[in-house]
Structure 1
Amino acid sequence: MSSIHLDMKDIHNAVLNMDNTVVDLETLHALYENRAQADEMDGINKHIKSSKGKEDAKPLDKPEQFLFQLSQIPNFSERVFCILFQSTFHECITSILRKVEILQRVCKNLQTGECVLQVLGLVLAFGNFMNGGNRSRGQADGFTLDILPKLKDVKSSDNSQSLLSYIVAYYLRHFDEDAGRETCVYPLPEPQDLFQASQMKFEDFQRDLRKLKKDLNACSSETEKVCQSSSEEDRQPFKDKMDEFLSKAKTELETQEEQLADTHKIFLELSVSFSVKPKAGEKEVSPNTLFSVWHEFSTDFKDHWKKQNKLMLKERVKMAEESFKQAKEKASYNVKPKHATGIKAKLGQKF
């Protein structure tokens, strides 16, 4: 009470009216963590009872007096538990949603993205061309993903460029109309998204959602306790606010569970389409197994993509400057009028 500079009536008002303008959530959390436990309240109540009517009775010390006053707030523990859970629920569900959306976006991009398919098509085409003299390897219908990070290690005969840099340059010049312009869009999933996706685990999402569901049920039970044991005067606005929150939270949680299940299904389908097998000890392919390969490839691809785009931008600038120079030179030509020298012109000059 000394450190937070609040009166007990401020705390009382904040808890009963769910008003955080004076007593913030951090303070409420500290109060909740330091509330009296059952055995502590038994000791305090026994002292108060035994001291009643005695002139020489020792008063409660400040900490005990503080705990006793907190206990006089109707359903303090249950109310504050609900208030704190309400404040953290949105943050937790939003964090899960943001991660699942990244995972879903990456999966859909790799599965159906036109640019991704074009890049993979070039890798297959150039691979088959380079292995053209080999009957077994030069007519492949596909390749395993672990080839992608190795493309940068395949060098030209003069060691001037890698197969990856050649593929990037070819893609930009033949498949991207905006190459060399500011409007040019990176064709693969962003390396940062792939890295984040590679660190995710469906087991973690499922565990977090189970915990949220358990805490939501606990919050619902605590709300019911408060409403049943509170007087009509103390029941509101707690009841209406918590009923509204619990209804929305339940819907959001169910929606998130469905989205996670859909994303898990999309991910497994993607694993099958890329013929990725689970690693030893895995029951199914993990995001790390699939996306760590793509993260390495996308990182290398983007480095070359940036360099090639800069080169093409310089080419465009140079061509534009050349065109401007030619146009300027053409505009500077002076056409001098031709002087007539014939008999007719000479006769005209005499008259």
Structure 2
Amino acid sequence: MEKPVDDIRKSHWQKILYSLLILAFQILLICVLLFILFLVQISAYLDNVFDVAALMDDSETKTAALEKVADLELEVEHAHRRIAQMEHESAAQIMALERALMEARSERDQLVEGRRLAEEQAETLRRQSAVFRASLAEQSSTVTDGHFPRESSSSGISSCSGSSAGGSETPPMPPPPPPLPPVTSAPVVAPPPPPPPCPPPGGAPPPPPPPGLMPSPIGAMTIKREIQTKNRLPTLNWAAMRPNQVRGTVFCELDDGHVFNRIDFDDFEEKFKMPGPPSKDVNDSLTSLPSKRFKKSDLISLLEHDRLRNIAISKRKIGLATEDIAKAIHSLDLRQIPLETVELLMKVVPTDVESKKYRKYLEERKDVNALTEEDRLLLELNKISNLTGKLTILHFMGNFNENVNFIAPQIEMLRAASESIRRSTKLKGVLEVVLAFGNYVNSAKRGPAYGFKLQSLDSLSDLKTADKKSTLINYIADTIKTKLSELMDFDTELKHIDRAATISLDNLISDVAELERGMEAVRKENCSRTEGVLHDFLVASEERLRNLQARLHEARAQFRETAEYFGECSRTSDPTTFFSYFVRFVKAFKRMMNFQKCQAQSRKNWLHYFKKI
């Protein structure tokens, strides 16, 4: 009986040992898993560790690079300003030279015309003198022989009797003069020519001029005839002007009638014709840059971190002590404080919130030396009365000459462009051609037009031929080249229209008004001062500003007159829009000329090649 009991005990212990072994294995597995998780946490912890020293070095390197970039950008900006100023000065000199050249050419033309008239008068006088000398010599020879020419005396008597009104008896002829001395080789002095005979006192008025030659009243427009085309043509969508709108514009001086005799409109119809018979349709119609990370200091600051960094960068660029800065601002003397420093100070002017903080800090009688250098700078600036106004005056005085040199050439360019485009005779001829083609296309449908708006020049490229290979502007350019070659270089008479197309008259007026406001601020500040810095500036600059205002007024009036002359509204017209019409038209015309030139050169090269073959 004992043996089975021992076996049972042995089996029971084996089960216990097996269970313990399984538990030990599970504990080991749990320890391994916990170790792995612990390693993961250690790795994550090590990954989150920052090298503060390396980050500080990177921050300082980045700050230095950003400061260098800011300095380079400032230098580039100044270089651009100098380049723009030099360009404007050169443009002003070029315009002055062109104006002098134009005046010299006009004077030369007047002198040439005067010389031609003088030569014609001299030639006429020489011929009259020769005829008179011959007549005098003949009469002298006749008188020497004791005979008088009957024909001349009878003709003289008849002319005198014809000029009398009542037909009364003529007085007897005076006795003949004594015989003249014989004619010698000495020159005969011709007496002055007799005055022309007076008109009969009671005669009838002169007959009226023949039909068609009656002078038109002033301002009257010739009635244009409708043009009946042989084929149906497309419609040119232009803005036609009524006769009452044309009065006083350039179109009063244009006559497209004589252009019809020089243009082959049969070829034009052949290229632009549309399928179907011709119809008459009346119903057709610098931000703030991150700066250096400073080491922790015992000094306190009332500024935010980014604001503190920006002021620190600006203070290093200024390079002046706080007391010197305040003294220079009080004196308003640009010799003590550079313009670049003024521009930097305008960026660091204390805000209202910062001013309240500094006033409260002073009211609490806290130690000023406990503040950072940047805070002390703003604290000192906050003590200056009317700080923003004084910095604005300094900035205005420092930039006055540059602003005047920037505005004045634009005014001169506007005046020169307005004057050249109004005086251009060849441009008027080109507009006559455009008016003739437009009337030829639209006359049968919309009636003849007496003029057109300048925006219609853009629509010349929209009207295409029947084969869609060419446009009306191309055909006009080809016609001018073949029939009216004297108008080919009309663009040479249009001076500075490309630059004038970039000028905004409103901006010019606003800029000059801004200069006047700045000058008024200088005058007010000068009234409360005894030193002569502002007075010297006013003496040197007020006259320049008045001249600039006068030139702007003249340029504005001249541009408005030019706009009205070309049928545009002077109140709403702007140089950018007005001159852009002509710039685009000239570019399209030149593009067509260059295309035709390339085609001719290509044909010439092919002919030369075939001749070689």
TM-score normalised over the length of structure 2: 0.39
Moved more, 107-116 or 63-72: 63-72
Relative to structure 1, the CA distance from residue 246 to residue 136 in structure 2 (aligned partners, 3 Å threshold; closer, same or farther) is: same
2:460 counterpart of 1:151: yes
Identity of aligned residues (%): 21
CA distance in 2 between partners of 1:13 and 1:19 (Å)? 12
Aligned to 1:347: none
2:611 counterpart of 1:301: no
Q: How does 1:76-115 map to 2 (within 5 A)?
A: 80-115=391-426
Cα shift at 1:244: 3.5
Aligned to 2:371: 61
Which among 512, 517, 525 is matched to residue 214 of structure 1? Answer: 517
Cα shift at 1:93: 3.2
Where does structure 2 lack aligned partners over 5 or more consecutive residues?
Answer: 1-310
CA contact (8 A) 1:194 1:294 kept: no
CA distance in 1 between partners of 2:496 and 2:327 (Å)? 49
CA distance in 2 between partners of 1:155 and 1:290 (Å)? 25
Cα shift at 1:160: 4.2
Relative to structure 1, the CA distance from residue 308 to residue 89 in structure 2 (aligned partners, 3 Å threshold; closer, same or farther) is: farther
Which among 473, 486, 493 is matched to residue 164 of structure 1? Answer: 473
Q: How does 1:16-31 map to 2 (within 5 A)?
A: 18-19=334-335, 24-31=338-345
Relative to structure 1, the CA distance from residue 189 to residue 95 in structure 2 (aligned partners, 3 Å threshold; closer, same or farther) is: same
Cα shift at 1:218: 0.7
Relative to structure 1, the CA distance from residue 221 to residue 299 in structure 2 (aligned partners, 3 Å threshold; closer, same or farther) is: same
3-state SS in 1 of match to 2:369: coil
CA distance in 1 between partners of 2:460 and 2:334 (Å)? 60
Relative to structure 1, the CA distance from residue 215 to residue 39 in structure 2 (aligned partners, 3 Å threshold; closer, same or farther) is: farther
CA distance in 2 between partners of 1:162 and 1:209 (Å)? 44
CA distance in 1 between partners of 2:485 and 2:537 (Å)? 51
CA contact (8 A) 2:461 2:473 kept: yes
Relative to structure 1, the CA distance from residue 116 to residue 224 in structure 2 (aligned partners, 3 Å threshold; closer, same or farther) is: same
3-state SS in 2 of match to 1:212: helix
Cα shift at 1:309: 4.7
CA distance in 2 between partners of 1:194 and 1:75 (Å)? 40
Q: Deviations over 1:297-329 (max 9, x none)?
A: 3443343243345456x38987xx99xx9xxxx
CA distance in 2 between partners of 1:26 and 1:272 (Å)? 45
CA distance in 1 between partners of 2:390 and 2:496 (Å)? 45
Which among 556, 572, 594 is matched to residue 285 of structure 1? Answer: 572
Which among 557, 566, 571 is matched to residue 265 of structure 1? Answer: 557
Matched to 1:97, the amino acid is: A
CA contact (8 A) 2:458 2:584 kept: yes
CA distance in 2 between partners of 1:132 and 1:216 (Å)? 56
Q: How does 1:46-57 map to 2 (within 5 A)?
A: 46=363, 50=365
CA distance in 1 between partners of 2:388 and 2:502 (Å)? 38
CA contact (8 A) 1:82 1:223 kept: no
CA contact (8 A) 1:188 1:298 kept: no
Structure having greater relative contact order (Cα 8 Å, sep ≥ 6): 1
Aligned to 1:330: none
Task: Count residues in correspondence.
Answer: 288
CA contact (8 A) 1:115 1:188 kept: no
Matched to 2:452, the amino acid is: F
CA distance in 1 between partners of 2:472 and 2:369 (Å)? 85
Cα RMSD after superposing both structures = 4.5
Relative to structure 1, the CA distance from residue 79 to residue 201 in structure 2 (aligned partners, 3 Å threshold; closer, same or farther) is: closer
CA distance in 2 between partners of 1:90 and 1:58 (Å)? 41
